[in-house]
Structure 1
Amino acid sequence: MKSLLIAVKDAKIHLKDRKAILMMIIMPVLLTVILGSALKGVMGGGSMPETILGVYSSESNSMTEGVIRTLGEDGLAITVERAESEKQLLDWMDGREIDVGVLLPDGWGSDADRAVVMPISGQETAATLIQQMIETFAQLSQAISNSTTTIMTEAALLSEEGDMLDMVAIQNELIASIESVAYEQRTYVSEPAEEESVSSMQYYAAAMAAMFLLFNSMAGGKSFHQERRSETLSRLKMTPISIHTILVGKFIGTCLFAWIQFLIFIGATHFLLKVDWGSSILQILFITFFYIFSVAGLAMVVAAFTTSEKMADVVGSMGVQVLALLGGSMLPLSLFPEVMRNIATAIPNSWALTSYTSIMTGTPWSTLWLPSGVLLGIGTVAILISSIRLNRRVA
């Protein structure tokens, strides 16, 4: 009971701190909006965004018509618009009516002149892909042309030596063979992704929840030194309350404020940002319980191994940023090399984040036993180590 009173007192102190409210509750919601909106379309496993391509060619030949037909094929998510003049193409770009403009010079494909690819601002990636497609088409066409010329030359030499060759038949057969390969209808098999992906807003809602709950380790460590500086801890020691009760109260206080923070955050993201946290709120609360347990244990570690409020602030801030980066709260773990992903398996917020995203896409309870066990183990080890040191320091 006395531990609960200490816990409630700590939670009230945090809630009265405007800086803490801004940092722990409002800031994660704002960052979720910013990061989720900025990376919309990059994440989520969706299809390639539609690109509007404007093309102008002063002459029409087999090469220009072939490349334009290739760029406009179904499945490439490219809409090709033919401009009547170079000025019209540039006007389209100025009015942002197209995403990428392409100028095909006179004689393109038969000489060294290259196509001019001009992206509007923000479409550089699409322009690079289109440039690669044009260059590939030109190289393939040039290779076919050179091969045809070589074959026909060799055939002509044989004919001059006395062998009777039907040059027209050879040429027609060669053209037919090339066309059959070029325009062959191929069948592709599309394999589904191993896991259903989440949207950028979902990912960063989970990432910010994991990161800012981790900030409780800093806040919990600082509160211990604040009470020590204000002599509140000394006055508690003069009462019949045991040191063990004080430490348990501090631990529960950190957990209580973390739960308040998380429930407000999940409510704000669900109702204001329309973030889908999955079909099972019980799974979310289940993994959050063990994550908060581990975070509260880390808060005691910060308090145990720092000597002042300022030191706890510095160590806590740096530690949170490093753990947030390695745990995937800033960048998705899928972008990291294998070595970094292996390191992430020892970080609590990584286990919480991957569990949240798995729950969002629908996962059985059996997949949550491992992360909950790891988080429980991290919290238990942290509590044991910090309790031994804090018992000595407080006594």
Structure 2
Amino acid sequence: MKSFLIAWKDFKIRAMDRRGFMMMLIMPLILTLILGAALKNIVGSDEGFQETSVGLYVEKKDSLADTLKDDVLAKADFLTVKTVDSEKKLEKMVKKGEIEVGVYIPAKWSGNLAGAVLYSNHDTQLKATVVESVITSFTERVQTVSLASETVMENMVEVTAASTGAGDLSGTGERVSTVLTERGKVEMTVANQSVGEASISSMQYYAAAMLVMFLLFNVTLGAKSMIQERHTDTLARLNSTPVSKYGILIGKFLGTLYFAFLQFLLFYAATSFFFNVKWGDNIGQVVATGFVYSVAVSGLSMLLAAFIRKEKTADLISGIGIQLFAIVGGSMVPIYVFPESFKAISALTPNNWALTVFLDIMSGVGWSELLLQFSVLGAIGLVSMLIGAWRLRGRYV
């Protein structure tokens, strides 16, 4: 009971700080509106990925290049393909804005699937990245089919030669390759960071991205509050009351949790009502994610307080550290344009896990597909709280 009173006291102090509270709510709303509107043509609108005009120049007739054009690029519903007759003209059209992305396929491209060049302007680089990923996926599939065909043929030759003494399999190789190619065909579509049935618009993406970033500031706010109370002997006075040391620390944890969760609820309501952001069909999933992420943030605030002693350090982490986490975690640049190596690094940040969950919910996934992310966020919060409480028990209370 005493822990709840301490938590309520901390919550009221932060909620009554009008300037700080408005900054924690108004700023993410403003950034959501600006980024969501400004990057609508890049990330996508409510109807899906924004249509992209692609110019294609093939230096010399190539069967694989024809397949790329007719069966991959032309069948992507968000791409409009125009054939260009020279590389120079292709580059010129991109510079003039007549096409958004230019693709140059060199002679003998089918021999090694290397050397293709993409042209784009500064403001269409993200679209170029998506086109590049489509082409890369195609070339990787072709290489896989080729390798599989060679392996199958080698084995068939060995088996046939051993059993019949004949090694002539004329026509068989072509049939094997054709079958593997047909089996390897996959519809080439891009659904903006979507793993469910629905696509994600730029406003939806940045609503979730700004939410997870600004909730992360509660890590430093919670830690800074504990440092301040230590310097003003507030924690010492609390320690003289009948409340146990762990009771005090649980109260501090809950105080941050209350405020972070309230911030989430207000942001969720404001973006839904004013910006018409669709957070998904299952409100329970959204609220559960907000709560679990608030637990993670509150636990990290305890952990941070256990390892720093000065308010200036907390301010430095708030100014630089949180922004770094935001960039790495996908709050500034959409996650789906990250290279694979960078995606592995971003998975180390709690805001990346939370952002991924929100995007999954928006795209329409079920509860079972969120269990891993919930488990990770919950573990981050509980483990951080336990470690922080263990260290703080001897240092501050």
Same fold (TM over 0.5): yes
Q: Tell me the residue number matched to 1:46.
A: 49
Q: Tell me the residue number matched to 1:2.
A: 2
5+ long unaligned stretches in structure 2: 55-77, 106-184
Mapping of residues 30-69 of structure 1, within 5 Å: 30-44=30-44, 45-48=48-51
Q: Say whether residues 1:126 and 2:97 are aligned partners.
A: yes
Deviations 1:191-243 (A, max 9, x none): 44474430000000000111111110011011111212222222212211211
Deviates more, 1:343-352 or 1:5-14: 343-352
The 1-side partners of 2:52 and 2:372 are apart by 37
Q: Sort the Cα spacing of 1:241 and 1:279 in 2 relative to 1 into closer, same or farther, 3 A.
A: same
Aligned residues of 1:302 and 1:315 also touching (Cα < 8 A): no
Letter in 2 for 1:6: I
Q: Tell me the residue number matched to 1:162.
A: none
Letter in 2 for 1:15: A
What is the CA-CA distance between 1:127 and the residue it aligns to? Answer: 3.3
What is the CA-CA distance between 1:271 and the residue it aligns to? Answer: 0.3
Deviations 1:144-166 (A, max 9, x none): xxxxxxxxxxxxxxxxxxxxxxx
What is the CA-CA distance between 1:325 and the residue it aligns to? Answer: 1.2
Q: Tell me the residue number matched to 1:11.
A: 11
The 2-side partners of 1:129 and 1:389 are apart by 55
The 2-side partners of 1:289 and 1:128 are apart by 45
Q: Tell me the residue number matched to 1:84.
A: none
Give 3-state SS (helix, strand or coil) of 2:20's partner.
helix
Deviations 1:357-389 (A, max 9, x none): 110110011111000011111112211221111
Q: Tell me the residue number matched to 1:211.
A: 213
Aligned residues of 2:53 and 2:99 also touching (Cα < 8 A): no
Q: Say whether residues 1:330 and 2:329 are aligned partners.
A: no
Q: Tell me the residue number matched to 1:319.
A: 321
Q: Tell me the residue number matched to 2:160.
A: none
Deviations 1:259-288 (A, max 9, x none): 110111001100001100010010011122
What is the CA-CA distance between 1:324 and the residue it aligns to? Answer: 1.2
Letter in 2 for 1:286: A
Q: Sort the Cα spacing of 1:31 and 1:240 in 2 relative to 1 into closer, same or farther, 3 A.
A: same
What is the identity percentage for the equivalent residue pairs of Structure 1 and Structure 2? Answer: 45
The 2-side partners of 1:4 and 1:125 are apart by 63
Q: Sort the Cα spacing of 1:116 and 1:192 in 2 relative to 1 into closer, same or farther, 3 A.
A: closer
Letter in 1 for 2:32: T
Q: Sort the Cα spacing of 1:189 and 1:328 in 2 relative to 1 into closer, same or farther, 3 A.
A: closer
The 2-side partners of 1:292 and 1:23 are apart by 18
5+ long unaligned stretches in structure 1: 52-74, 80-108, 137-187
> What is the RMSD of the two structures over their aligned residues, measured on CA atoms?
3.0
What is the CA-CA distance between 1:77 and the residue it aligns to? Answer: 5.9
Q: Say whether residues 1:385 and 2:387 are aligned partners.
A: yes
Letter in 1 for 2:388: S
Q: Tell me the residue number matched to 2:297.
A: 295
Mapping of residues 203-282 of structure 1, within 5 Å: 203-282=205-284
Aligned residues of 1:287 and 1:368 also touching (Cα < 8 A): no
Deviations 1:281-323 (A, max 9, x none): 1001112221111110110111111112222221243321121
Aligned residues of 1:243 and 1:394 also touching (Cα < 8 A): no
Mapping of residues 129-140 of structure 1, within 5 Å: 129=100
Deviations 1:308-365 (A, max 9, x none): 2222221243321121111111111112111110112221111110110110110011
Q: Sort the Cα spacing of 1:77 and 1:5 in 2 relative to 1 into closer, same or farther, 3 A.
A: same
Aligned residues of 1:290 and 1:375 also touching (Cα < 8 A): yes
Q: Tell me the residue number matched to 2:163.
A: none
Q: Sort the Cα spacing of 1:332 and 1:239 in 2 relative to 1 into closer, same or farther, 3 A.
A: same
Q: Sort the Cα spacing of 1:233 and 1:126 in 2 relative to 1 into closer, same or farther, 3 A.
A: same
Give 3-state SS (helix, strand or coil) of 2:281's partner.
coil
Give 3-state SS (helix, strand or coil) of 1:380's partner.
helix
The 1-side partners of 2:186 and 2:384 are apart by 50
Aligned residues of 1:215 and 1:317 also touching (Cα < 8 A): no
Q: Tell me the residue number matched to 1:283.
A: 285
Give 3-state SS (helix, strand or coil) of 2:98's partner.
helix
Deviations 1:126-173 (A, max 9, x none): 33558x59x99xxxxxxxxxxxxxxxxxxxxxxxxxxxxxxxxxxxxx
The 2-side partners of 1:302 and 1:368 are apart by 27
Aligned residues of 1:117 and 1:127 also touching (Cα < 8 A): no
Q: Sort the Cα spacing of 1:118 and 1:391 in 2 relative to 1 into closer, same or farther, 3 A.
A: same
Q: Sort the Cα spacing of 1:362 and 1:307 in 2 relative to 1 into closer, same or farther, 3 A.
A: same
Report which of the two structures shows the higher radius of gyration computed on alpha carbons. Answer: 1
The 2-side partners of 1:293 and 1:47 are apart by 36
